[in-house]
Structure 1
Amino acid sequence: MTEKIPQSIRERTRRLAQTELTTVAQDLFLERGYEKTTVDEIAAAAGMSKRTFFRYFSSKDDLVIGKYDLFGDRLAEALDARPADEPVWESLRRVFDITVDYVEDDYTRARNDAMELIVRGSAQLNARYLEKMQRVQELLVGRVASRLPSVGASPIDPRPAAIVGAAFACMQAARLAWLESDQQQPFAECLDKAMETFIVV
């Protein structure tokens, strides 16, 4: 028990530092442009050395894409915290509440949209983004599988991946519908409506 506490503190400290670096870097990217911003400038703005920067991110690209690792971890932790006897689809809907604030808050959404443009404007970053989003879904697939009582009868069961994939498709469809409607309806309601389309476990 005495060994787990320091590890937990270190992990929380690491995440805080990564989050702070990401925020500082986003400010610089939006002000100066991604290509023109250097690691030296990011480290200086964050009040750390370049060497310390590389303890948290191996490159500038990793700093941009790394937020999706943090996002995946948050989703996984949120799913772990849901009641074990709760229907899987309802658990996923509640987990997606994490995204509601990001979408509905004008300032946060503007930053995220700007960063998405940077990612999609680079073939390298976009390829890594797709890899990260695949990892996010994979983090949830195993957790969903453990909640399905009949999984395990076959070594290959496509249902957990299908459920997670469908949930993410609902989230994306809800976001697009919400944006196209000029935000006349709360995003959470759009998400509810999209996920109510499917009757799953």
Structure 2
Amino acid sequence: MNSHEGRPAGLRERTRRAVQAEIVATAMRLFLEHGFEATTMEQIANDVGISRRSLFRYFGTKEDIVLGDHAEHGLALRAALEARPADESPWEALRAALKSLFESLPYAPEEFIKITTMLHASPSLRARQLEKRQQWAELLMPDIAARLGEATDPMTRLRAHALVACALACSEAATDAWVHSNGTIDMERAYDEAVAAVRG
């Protein structure tokens, strides 16, 4: 009896994830076709084939649909950072971790450009993105503090916080430059230029 008890829950979870993925794919298509602000939750629900009430069981807001995977990306970024050699410098480790995350994104370059442009065009999306990036910083700080020395020292934590914030800001600046160039500049070079400007 016990061996079968977990199966329905597993099936429900797989079904839920499949529906979530369909909602995200449908919503992103509508957002890119009609604009984020112009697309309503009702339109998304109708295109997916579910009720508006059912849609809200999966996502509370349109912003959640677009940025819902940012939390998972933060965890993936932390895992990539923690996998770096312990004797690697904070800047090198963060660069490698950010590169790993970017390469894992399931978007073609042209899709990523459109999505990023949409994020920047919407004040509500931009605000939520910055909020989630702060959550990324909290995830990354312990590893960077350990690389800097005594992780429990308040000044070490301060330095780790500043370093992580700068690295994420450099990543954002590099992404902006890449998007504005329509993908013609090299993302890694743009990041390195941003870091050099900060460290210089």
SS at match of 1:158: helix
**The structure with more helix, counted as a fraction of residues:** 2
The answer to whether the 8 A contact 2:80-2:97 is kept is yes
Provide the residue aligned with 2:30 in structure 1.
Answer: 28
The answer to whether the 8 A contact 1:25-1:42 is kept is yes
Deviation readout 1:102-157 (Å, 9 max, x if unpaired): 6981232123212431x22xxx4443333222222222223322443322134873
Cα 1:134–1:172 change in 2 (3 A) is same
Q: Distance in 1 between matches of 2:191 and 2:178?
A: 9
What residue identity is the alignment partner of 2:102?
T
Q: Distance in 1 between matches of 2:62 and 2:180?
A: 33
SS at match of 2:85: coil
The structure 2 residue matched to 1:116, chosen from 120, 126, 131, is 120
Q: Distance in 2 between matches of 1:18 and 1:105?
A: 23
Cα 1:89–1:43 change in 2 (3 A) is same
The answer to whether the 8 A contact 1:26-1:115 is kept is no
**How many residues align structurally?**
192
Q: Distance in 1 between matches of 2:152 and 2:182?
A: 45
Q: Distance in 2 between matches of 1:9 and 1:195?
A: 46
What residue identity is the alignment partner of 1:136?
W
What residue identity is the alignment partner of 1:130?
L
What residue identity is the alignment partner of 1:190?
A
The answer to whether the 8 A contact 2:113-2:182 is kept is no
Provide the residue aligned with 1:157 in structure 2.
Answer: 157
RCO comparison, higher one (Cα < 8 Å, 6+):
1
Give how far 1:196 is off: 4.7
The answer to whether the 8 A contact 1:104-1:187 is kept is no
TM-score (norm 1): 0.70
Provide the residue aligned with 1:41 in structure 2.
Answer: 43
Counterpart mapping for 1:14-163 below 5 A: 18-97=20-99, 98-99=101-102, 105-117=109-121, 119-120=122-123, 124-154=124-154, 157-163=157-163
**Structure 2 gaps, min length 5:** 1-5
